[in-house]
């Protein structure tokens, strides 16, 4: 964290809520994009982003500055929990296709792809994963988060996050890994 961010957080923790507006401006776009990538619904992403920042403002005094956890990771963790709560309340079992808002049969660019079956295998594979595995893999591949950021969001060690990604990817053949990377690039 830079010194300006530290000063703003300290001001908020002392009761100066006006300083939170600057923190909001610094992170609102990132948090909104993260939530939108999980909901694919503009209104829902806006609502969950607002809820994330209201919760952060309410709990700012509990944030402890340290070298281990950044303020950004703390916000992402709150956002992640809001997303989990949102889907838990809906009681839906979300598939990767729903999560990414992709339907194999609707992908025009895949018409030139030799084998749509590979993409179907990716979706089937993702739907067999535990939620934790799927979330960590998606944060790594689609959200381009570092293992350190994933660790801070998931409350798991960096090495554990690496193991989860490695073990999860080791169970698929390389054709599916290639499709995963292509999906990440195009979506």
Give pLDDT tens digits for 19-29. 999 999 999 98
Nearest to 87 by CA among 135, 152, 151: 135
**Would you say the pTM of this structure is higher than 0.85?**
no
What is the domain partition of the chain in residue ranges? 3-90, 96-186
Alpha helices in 40-115 (DSSP H): 42-59, 71-90, 96-100
Contact between 65 and 1 (Cβ < 8 Å): yes
Q: Is the pLDDT reported for residue 58 higher than 90?
A: yes
Q: Is the pLDDT reported for residue 50 higher than 90?
A: yes
Q: Of 38-47, 155-164, 169-178, give the lowest mean pLDDT range.
A: 169-178
Q: Dump pLDDT digits (tens) for 109-165.
A: 445 454 466 666 767 777 788 878 888 887 887 777 889 888 888 889 999 999 999
Q: Dump pLDDT digits (tens) for 59-109.
A: 999 998 875 668 988 998 899 889 888 887 876 555 555 555 444 444 444
How many C-beta neighbours within 10 Å does residue 104 have? 13
The third-level CATH classification (topology) of the domain covering 3-90 is Rna Polymerase Sigma Factor; Chain: A (1.10.1740)
Q: Is the pLDDT reported for residue 46 higher than 70?
A: yes
């Amino acid at each position: 964290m830079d010194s300006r961010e530290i000063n703003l957080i300290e001001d908020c923790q002392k009761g100066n809520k006006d300083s939170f507006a600057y923190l909001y401006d610094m992170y609102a776009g990132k948090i909104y994009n993260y939530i939108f990538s999980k909901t694919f619904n503009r209104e829902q992403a806006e609502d969950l982003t607002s809820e994330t920042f209201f919760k952060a403002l309410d709990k700012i005094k509990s944030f402890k500055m340290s070298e281990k956890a950044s303020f950004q990771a703390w916000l992402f963790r709150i956002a992640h929990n809001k997303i989990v709560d949102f889907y838990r309340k809906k009681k839906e079992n979300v598939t990767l296709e729903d999560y990414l808002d992709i339907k194999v049969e609707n992908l025009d660019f895949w018409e030139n792809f030799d084998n749509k079956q590979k993409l179907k295998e990716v979706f089937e594979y993702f739907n067999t994963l535990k939620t934790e595995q799927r979330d960590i893999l998606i944060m790594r591949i689609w959200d381009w988060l570092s293992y350190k950021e994933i660790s801070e969001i998931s409350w798991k060690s960096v090495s554990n996050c690496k193991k989860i990604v490695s073990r999860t990817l080791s169970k698929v053949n390389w054709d599916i890994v290639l499709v995963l990377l292509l999906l990440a690039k195009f979506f």
